[in-house]
A = this chain, B = another copy of it.
């Protein structure tokens, strides 16, 4: 065997500065993407990994796809002070909804800034739901302005909410939306249901099957969509959302039918969306002949959008595709991290998808 250079996935790490990172919920589907992205991120040093179920095992034994990550998983109920002392400056939590809420204050009290991928700190939660009550920046990156710069607690948006809001906000802010309900149909890969083994996520129950669930006004993401529409666009149109599980591992495809207050031309609509996302590296407006496909975004941090008019110009159709584990979870969390740290927004984040897979 010839000699070979040592493995160095992350070249040219800035000698001057990289941020200490801790990750809770590191072995779930969003967690492993955080580990993958941040381990190769030139502005990050992953210092600690926590897991509910796999504490004590090396990460690479749980996820052999990442052979270089041999750090031993710690108990997720670790004391924040211990991680702070070891240099953790930013905590990413991919724990299930409700698991971090009680402890968020303890983490923040150490000076560690927190990016919470669960629903616990997102806007619009009902009173009865668990949440820490602490104010958080809602990290829909493209619409955050400078709020992220000094944020100490970021609520990372839901995967459906990200797709739907990126599709809807330019129209909402333009005052185009009529008071009739917006109809959203959305398709999700099974990783959106999490890594817990249930009958719903059993291979045999999902392969070959399309299945709607929590339809109409039932889905929890509607609350953060409504709150954000109100906050950003000053309008809260009714939204009907019909999510469906389809037999693929990842990807979200949202199809929106938006009743318009006046007749529009496609050119005008495209101009507004183009201007709106002109500086957004991860939002792509497809050309007029192209509709998005989830395989074009999976593996990337992009959200692809397409626009069509129907009903004689009185109905706007918007199609949005993203990878629920990337732009819909871990990717957007890293995008938020980049902004929190003053790094270029695209640092360590792929623009390119897998093409086939």
| A interface with B by C-beta (< 8 Å) | 1-13, 29, 32-33, 36, 39-40, 42, 61, 63-68, 142-146, 180-181, 183, 185, 187, 189-191, 195, 197-199, 201-213, 215-217, 238, 240, 242, 244, 246-251, 253, 255, 257, 259, 276-281, 284, 286, 290-300, 302, 304, 308-311, 315, 317, 319, 321, 325, 339, 344-346, 350-357
- Interface contact B3-A279, CB-CB below 8 Å: yes
- The complex places the Cα of A248 from the Cα of B290 at a distance, in Å, of 22
- Interface contact A310-B240, CB-CB below 8 Å: yes
- Interface contact A311-B238, CB-CB below 8 Å: yes
Select one of B204, B209, B299, B310 contacting A299, CB under 8 A.
Answer: B299
**Which residues on the B side are within 8 Å of A292 (C-beta)?**
211-212
- The complex places the Cα of A250 from the Cα of B208 at a distance, in Å, of 7
Select one of B33, B187, B204, B317 contacting A210, CB under 8 A.
Answer: B187
Closest 7 CB pairs of A and B: A5-B344, A185-B185, A209-B295, A65-B353, A216-B310, A211-B293, A210-B253
- Interface contact A67-B210, CB-CB below 8 Å: no
Other than the known A1-B276, A29-B355, what 18 A-B pairs have Cβ atoms closer than 8 Å? Answer: A1-B142, A5-B345, A9-B40, A36-B352, A67-B352, A180-B259, A185-B255, A189-B208, A190-B203, A204-B356, A207-B247, A208-B208, A210-B246, A212-B255, A212-B319, A215-B291, A250-B356, A354-B357
- Interface contact B68-A355, CB-CB below 8 Å: no
What are 5 A-to-B residue pairs whose CB atoms are below 8 Å?
A: A6-B344, A39-B352, A210-B251, A242-B257, A249-B357
**Which residues on the B side are within 8 Å of A66 (C-beta)?**
352-353, 355
**Which residues on the B side are within 8 Å of A213 (C-beta)?**
291
- Residue of B at shortest CB range from A257? B183
Output the least CB separation between A273 and chain B (Å).
11
- Interface contact B345-A4, CB-CB below 8 Å: yes
- The complex places the Cα of A299 from the Cα of B354 at a distance, in Å, of 8
Output the least CB separation between A209 and chain B (Å).
4
- Residue of B at shortest CB range from A213? B291
- The complex places the Cα of A280 from the Cα of B65 at a distance, in Å, of 17
**Which residues on the B side are within 8 Å of A185 (C-beta)?**
183, 185, 242, 255
Output the least CB separation between A310 and chain B (Å).
4
Output the least CB separation between A153 and chain B (Å).
19
